[in-house]
A and B are shown apart, each in its own frame.
Chain A
Amino acid sequence: MHRRPVALLAALLVGMLMLAPGAASAEETPSPSEPTPTSAAAQPPDSEYYVAVTLIDSSKKTATSAGEPVPGVTLSVETSSGTEVGSATTDAEGRAFIPIEGGGKYKVVLDKGSLPDGVELSGGAATEKDINVFLEGATNVQFQIGVVEGTTVGFVDRFAQALVKGLKLGLIIALAGLGLSLIFGTTGLTNFAHGELVTFGAIAAFVLNHALGLPVIVAGLLAVVVSGAFGYAQDKLLWGPLRHRGTGLIAMMIVSIGFALLLRSIFQYGFGGSRRSYTEYVAQAPHVWGPVRIADKEIATILICIVVITVVCVAMARTRLGKAMRAVSDNPALSASSGMRVDGVITQVWVLGTALTGLAGVLYGIDQQVSFVMGFNLLLLIFAAVTLGGLGTIWGALVGSLIIGLFVEVAPTITIFGYQPVPDSIKNVGALVVLILILLVRPQGILGRAQRIG
Chain B
Amino acid sequence: MDIMQVIDAALSQALGPQAIVFALAAIGLNVHFGYTGLLNFGQAGFMAVAGFGLATAVVTYDLPFFVGIVIGLVASVLLALVLGVPTLRLRADYLAIVTIASSEIIRLILGAVETKDVFGGSNGLTGFVKPFRDMNPYGGPLDLGIVSWSRNDLWSLTVGWILVAIACLIVWALMRSPWGRVLRSIREDEDAVRSLGKNVFAYKMQALILGGVFGGIAGLFHVLKQGSAVPTDFNTTFTFYAYAALLIGGAARVLGPVVGSVLFWFLIAGLGSIFGQLTSGDDPIMPTWLMTDTQSSLVRFIVLGAGLMLLMIFRPQGIFGDRREIAIDAR
Chain A positions within 8 Å of B, measured between CB atoms, are 32, 63, 190, 242, 245-251, 253-255, 257-266, 268-269, 272-273, 380, 383-384, 387, 391, 420, 423, 425-426, 428-429, 432-433, 435-436, 439-440, 443, 453-454
Residues of B within 8 A of A273 (CB): 294
A435 near B101 with CB under 8 A, answer: yes
A258 near B307 with CB under 8 A, answer: yes
A439 near B90 with CB under 8 A, answer: yes
B302 near A269 with CB under 8 A, answer: yes
In-complex Cβ contact of B305 among A249, A262, A453 (8 A): A262
A265-B298, A443-B94, A454-B89 as given contacts; A380 in contact with B101, CB under 8 Å: yes
In-complex Cβ contact of A439 among B94, B109, B298 (8 A): B94
In-complex Cβ contact of B112 among A258, A259, A423, A433 (8 A): A423
Complex CA–CA separation, A257 to B39 (angstroms): 13
Contact with A along B109-124 (1 / 0, CB 8 A): 1001110000000100
B104 near A432 with CB under 8 A, answer: yes
A265-B298, A268-B298, A384-B97 as given contacts; A436 in contact with B113, CB under 8 Å: no
Residues of A within 8 A of B108 (CB): 426, 428-429
CB distance from A59 to the nearest CB of B (A): 10
Contact with A along B85-106 (1 / 0, CB 8 A): 0111111111011101110110
Residues of A within 8 A of B91 (CB): 453-454
In-complex Cβ contact of B97 among A245, A246, A383, A420 (8 A): A383
Residues of B within 8 A of A435 (CB): 97-98, 101
Complex CA–CA separation, A436 to B86 (angstroms): 8
Give 10 new A-B contacts, CB below 8 A, not counting A254-B247, A264-B305, A380-B100.
Answer: A190-B93, A242-B313, A250-B330, A251-B328, A257-B308, A258-B311, A261-B240, A262-B302, A428-B108, A440-B86
Residues of A within 8 A of B7 (CB): none
A261 near B305 with CB under 8 A, answer: yes
Complex CA–CA separation, A435 to B101 (angstroms): 9
Residues of A within 8 A of B304 (CB): 258, 261, 265
A247-B330, A248-B330, A432-B101 as given contacts; A190 in contact with B96, CB under 8 Å: yes
Complex CA–CA separation, A433 to B98 (angstroms): 9
Of A254, A262, A436, A454, the most chain B CB neighbours within 10 A belong to A254
Q: Residue on A with the closest CB to B244? A: A258
25 cross-chain CB contacts under 8 A: A190-B93, A250-B39, A251-B312, A251-B316, A251-B330, A253-B96, A254-B312, A255-B308, A258-B244, A258-B305, A258-B307, A258-B309, A258-B312, A261-B240, A264-B305, A265-B298, A269-B299, A380-B104, A384-B97, A426-B109, A429-B109, A436-B98, A439-B94, A443-B89, A453-B91
Which residues 288-306 of B have a CB within 8 angstroms of A?
Answer: 292, 294-295, 298-299, 301-302, 304-306
B324 within 8 A of A: no
Complex CA–CA separation, A247 to B330 (angstroms): 5
A248-B331, A426-B108 as given contacts; A387 in contact with B97, CB under 8 Å: yes
